[in-house]
Each structure stands twice: as structure tokens, then as C-alpha cells.
Amino acid sequence: MTTPQHGSPLAAGLDRRSFLRTAVLGASAASLAPFAGAWSVEGAEKVLTIAVPNNPSTFDPVNAANHDAMVVSQTIFENLVEVDPDGTLRPQLAVAMPKVSADRRVYTFDLRDNISFQDGQKLTAEDVKYSFEYVLDPKNNALRRPLFNRISRVVVESPTRVRFELSEPYRPWLYYLTKYMGIFPKGSREKHGADYFKTTPIGVGTGPGVFVEWRQNDQVVLKKSPNYWRKGLPYWDRLVIRTIPEDSVRVAYLTTGNVDVISAPPPKDFVRLKGVSGIKGESKPTMGGWFFLMTNTKKAPFDDVNVRKAISHAIDRQTIAKRVYYDLVDPVAIPAPPRGWWFSKEANDLNDFDLEKARAYLKKSRHPNGFEFEMMIPSQPYLLDVKDAAVVIQSQLAKLNININTRILEQGVLLQQLRLGNHVSALQVWMSPGEPTYMIDLCYGKDNVFSKSSGYENPELLKAIRESYHETDEQALKPVFARMLRILAEDSPHIWMGFVHSTNLWRDSVKGFEVNQGLTMRVKDVDKA
């Protein structure tokens, strides 16, 4: 085939400009000229737009699973008491904190008298009784029933007074209300059906936001409730919760003013952006955001406590927290946040970074010359991406001739492996209500959902957990938790890395936003200039 060097035969004598013109016209036609004007169309309404990385799967608080998406259910529904942004219990629909009987089995709440549901119906103690009885009825298969199943009876004493009788003392249950419970009108489940609460819960809450629409993978819209009991709130007329999975795109939405608040910014961007003009940012340590290596004590090499202790001592958590997560993780070697009242420095010192101790434990173990093991890592980050941390851990353990083979799995598959105890180890970040025993019981309790993730059983630990349920005073609880944490530090069924922070960035036009240690954004009191 002959190919002329300088233009084909067709080019000879042809009008070059006409070709160029055609090409340019074609390109211009396709690259549509930008139009002036804003793209976010807002009327006179005050619209607060927030962005979260994950899609909701339900708006029904009694079946809630995703902590990001709980912003919707927590704006629609309310509870007798709530956990505030700092992790403290406060009255919500109740006038004050409950009166607790001497035997810790009876809780009596007085309700506020000025509360109506979003449909205008007045809230009474009958609605509270109905809501709890719905959750407790096994037929309704409420996901969060196990958290409340020690409630044996709910008694209406008067239209504004309700009494809860527990089968045994169980201190944690109040902490679970905000995330996993809500009060709805008597008869509403029968009237609307269960799917109504899952997808279109219009008018059935007492919160400031009334459900308007949900477009999957796109956004949820709530509007201001005219019947909200806290007069003057909310400040916004409409709340738009957008799902934006890509970190960098979520950040771009914020910097261009297309959203007002974002959750879970990437740590590196968070540090940079919170100093940018027009943007504010804050982080707050969570009380229940565990970052940990889930080792299986039923499988080699983690069936040897000396191996687990060696690894725990060999990991320099400070470096990981600083270099990988820009101080958005509080490094600790025990399952208690350093800022929690139940934190025990003594227990933490038993497990913290110390290479000499690591070498000594390894020498005592069945693998004195080192070993290798498999570490599962989720492909899609939830809360924090652990891939970089895994690489750092890999290099830190290499000093002891311990080699890690990483295996990336989709989180759903990984969780299944953990439930069944099929794993050797997995690096995970989990969020919980922040009550001290929730995760401990879940992973190390007897026959619990994730008991096999550790394969660990210790009657002394179970006794301490149970003991902690009976006491409500923090001072009295401290020695119980110190004992619990010491047992866990000595046995190291899992290897704890730290507690993650809850982080948010917002435009400076947003007023009154406060980062919630419970991760879920709180927008009830938020205003926008």
C-alpha cells in the first residue's frame, strides 16, 4: 500500500479551510456552550443540603443499619431520651431523665405535654407503649429487638407517664434509643404497613423533618414540620440529603457551594480544607468507632496468645494515626476510647507499642522465628480506608519476621466470613452506639452474632459484662470496666488499633452545626445564613 508522505491524492486542490471549518463546527456543536447562572435551583425556601457517602437502606429506625443514613430517621423520629453530640444522655420527648427504681429494673418517664406527631396527632404514653410493644413482638422481626428484649412490660400510668419494667437490670438500653428506636403513633404500623416506614414514613414521627421523597442513589428530601414541638425549629424549610459516594466529588460539591455540609471527608483533604476560606471543619473522637484487627483465636497462628500479644506490641499505633489518618484516629491498644470515662491506662499499657516486649512474646510463642498470616481488607472503605494502614502494619510486623498476605474482599462477603469464623484475620472499622459494652458483647459475648469472629470465650469477662449492666453510676462502674479491659488486654482476642473520629466540613454560611461523636449528622438546630 502506498501512502504519500505529504497529504493524500484527495487533498490536492481541496479547500483545506472547508475541512477545518467542518471539524471545528462539529466540535463546537458537541461541546455545548456553557450558560450563565446558578445550577442549584432554590426558591425563597431555606434549603439545607448535606452529603453523605452511603445510600440509605431503610428509614425505619427499628431496622436501621447505616450510621450515615440515620440522619434521615433521626430527623423524622425522636425518642424518650437522646445521646447528644458529646455522647451524653439527655431527655428528648421526656421532660427529664427517667426515675430508676432501687433494683434498677423499673424506669419511669414523664412525657412532655406539648408534643404532636407530624400529622398533628398528639403524642401520649399510649404511643410510647405501642412503639415498644411493636419492636418487642417477635412477629414483627424488628432488627433491633435484641437490644430491647429485656423490657418485659410497658405500662401507661397516665397520658404523660409511662413505666418500663425490665426482666433484669440492663443499663445500656437508653443508649440504644437514638440510633435504633423511634416513637410512632399507636396503630400506625397496621394502618400503613411495614414498608411505609421503610420507604415513605410521612407524618409518623415527632421530629422536625417530614419525609417528602427518596430517589435511590440520588437524594432524600425532608420538609420542615409545622407541628414540631421545639418552637422556631428547624430553621430550614427543606432538608436535602444527597448520596455522593466518591470522596473527591463530595469535596468538590462542598467547595463549589453545591452542598452545605459533608460527612466523612478524606483525612488528607480534611486537614487542608478546614483552613480554606469559606469552609469550616471539625472532628470529634467517637466513643464507638472501633478500628481493629479481627484475629481468629481458633485458627493458627492466632490460637497462641503470645502471637497476639507480640503483634499488639509490635504495632506503632501513633505512627499510623499520625501518618495515615492525620490524627483522625485516637490510637489505643484496648477496646475503650482514650476520652471515654471507662478508659484504663493500666490496661492499655499492657498491650501498647513496645518492640522489646513484642520480641519477648514472639520468642515464647510457637512461632519464635516468625510466621505469615492472611489479613482480609474490605475493597470499599466504610468510615475509613484501611488499605494504607494495612501496608504500614505489614512493614512494622516485618521487623519481627512476620509477613502479612493481604486479601481484598468486598465488605459484605468479608462480614459473612467473620460471622462464620472462616477468617484468619481482618482489618476493620466498625461504628456502634458508643455504649462501652455494645461491641465487647457483640464480639466476645456468648453465642452472639460475631462471637465467631474472635472465637474467644472467657467466663470472667462475661461475668464482668453482666455486672456492668446492673450498675448505673460511672464511679461504681469504673472498676468493673477496668477489670473487663484488663482481661481483654491480657488475652487480646482481637488487636485494637484505635477509635476513629467523626469529621465534617461545612460552608461558613451554615450556623450552629456541631459534629456528632455518634457519627450521624445532627441537623435539627442547624441554620443557614
Q: What residues from 292 to 331 belong to the interface with other proteins (CB under 8 A)?
A: none
Stretch that binds other proteins, among 73-81, 102-110, 409-417, 458-466 (CB under 8 A): 409-417
Residue 485 CA to residue 494 CA, distance in Å, equals 12
Identify whether the C-beta of residue 447 lies closer than 8 Å to the C-beta of residue 462.
no
Which residue in 4, 187, 278, 512 binds other proteins (CB under 8 A)?
4
Least Cβ distance, residue 2 to other proteins (angstroms) = 5
Could you say whether residue 258 binds other proteins (CB under 8 A)?
Answer: yes
Can residue 19 be called a binding residue for other proteins (CB under 8 A)? yes
Q: Which set of grid coordinates corresponds to residue 204?
A: 409518623
**412 contributes a contact to other proteins by CB under 8 A:** yes
Asked if 41 touches other proteins (CB under 8 A), the answer is: yes
- What is the smallest separation between the CB atom of 251 and other proteins, expressed in angstroms? 9
Q: 3-state DSSP call for residue 235? A: coil
Look at residue 526 and give its three-state secondary structure: coil
- Of 167, 401, 403, 416, the residue at the interface with other proteins (CB under 8 A) is 416
475 counts as binding other proteins under rule CB under 8 A? no
Say if CB 358 and CB 350 are below 8 A apart. no
In the complex, minimum distance from the CB of residue 349 to other proteins, in angstroms, rounded to a whole number:
30
> 216-255: which residues touch other proteins (CB under 8 A)?
216-218, 242, 244-246, 248-249, 252-253, 255
Q: Which of residues 346-385 bind other proteins (CB under 8 A)?
A: 380
- Span from 310-318, 406-414, 496-504, 519-527 in contact with other proteins (CB under 8 A): 406-414
| Residue of 445, 452, 314, 290 lying closest to 373 (CA atoms) | 314
What is the rounded CA–CA span in Å between residue 188 and residue 179?
A: 20
Nearer to other proteins, 153 or 198 (CB): 198
130 near other proteins, rule: CB under 8 A: no
Nearer to other proteins, 173 or 361 (CB): 173
**Closest distance to other proteins from the beta carbon of 414 (Å):** 8
Q: Which is nearer to other proteins, 130 or 253 (CB)?
A: 253
The DSSP 8-state label assigned to residue 40 in this structure reads S
Residue 6 CB, nearest distance to other proteins (Å)? 6
| Of the candidates 366, 480, 373, 472, the residue with the CA atom closest to the CA atom of residue 427 | 373
Kindly tell me which of 16 and 298 has the beta carbon lying closer to other proteins. Answer: 16
Strand partners, 94: 111
Question: Could you say whether residue 275 binds other proteins (CB under 8 A)?
Answer: no
Q: Which of 17, 32, 43, 232 binds other proteins (CB under 8 A)?
A: 32
Nearer to other proteins, 143 or 271 (CB): 143
SS3 303: coil
Q: Of 1-9, 71-79, 125-133, 204-212, which part binds other proteins (CB under 8 A)?
A: 1-9
Q: For other proteins, which stretch binds (CB under 8 A), given 182-190, 273-281, 410-418, 485-493? A: 410-418
205 and 78 Cβ atoms separated by less than 8 Å: yes
C-alpha cell at 234: 428547624
Partners of 499 in the β-ladder:
290, 330
Min dist. Cβ of residue 137 to other proteins (A): 14
d(CA 84, CA 175): 10
Question: Rule CB under 8 A: is residue 430 a binding residue for other proteins?
Answer: yes
Q: How far is the CB of 258 from other proteins (least distance, A)?
A: 6
Among 202, 212, 391, 442, binds other proteins (CB under 8 A): 442
Beta bridge partners of 401: none
User: What dihedral angle (degrees, nearest 10) is formed by the CA atoms of 264, 269, 272, 276?
Assistant: -70
The reply to whether 277 sits near other proteins by the rule CB under 8 A is no
Q: Judged by CB under 8 A, does residue 149 bind other proteins?
A: no
Nearer to other proteins, 217 or 369 (CB): 217
Q: Least separation, in Å, of the C-beta of 16 and other proteins? A: 8
For 243, the grid coordinates are 448520596
Name the minimum Å distance from CB 448 to other proteins: 9
| Phi then psi dihedrals of residue 505, to 5 deg | -125, 145
**Residues 152-211 within binding reach of other proteins (CB under 8 A):** 195, 198-199
d(CA 333, CA 350): 8
**CB atoms closer than 10 angstroms to residue 501:** 25
User: Do 217 and 55 meet the contact criterion of CB atoms below 8 Å apart?
Assistant: yes
DSSP letter assigned to residue 36: P
Q: How many residues bind other proteins (CB under 8 A)?
A: 76
Q: Which of 47, 89, 106, 143 contacts other proteins by CB under 8 A?
A: 143
* Binder among 10, 44, 102, 529 for other proteins (CB under 8 A): 10
Which is it for the CA torsion 116, 117, 121, 125, positive or negative? negative
Q: Which is nearer to other proteins, 320 or 424 (CB)?
A: 424
Quote the cell numbers at residue 188. Answer: 400506625
Burial of residue 5 (number of CB atoms within 10 Å: 0-12, 13-18, 19+): exposed
Tell me how far, at minimum, the Cβ of 62 lies from other proteins, in Å.
Answer: 12
Is 66 a residue that touches other proteins (CB under 8 A)?
Answer: yes
Per residue, the 3-state secondary structure of 124-178, as one string, reads CHHHHHHHHHHHHCHHHCCCCHHHHCCEEEEEEEECCEEEEEECCCCHHHHHHHH
Q: Rule CB under 8 A: is residue 413 a binding residue for other proteins?
A: yes
233, 208 Cβ separation under 8 angstroms:
yes
Give the span between the Cα atoms of 231 and 180, in whole angstroms: 26
Residue 23 interacts with other proteins (CB under 8 A)? yes
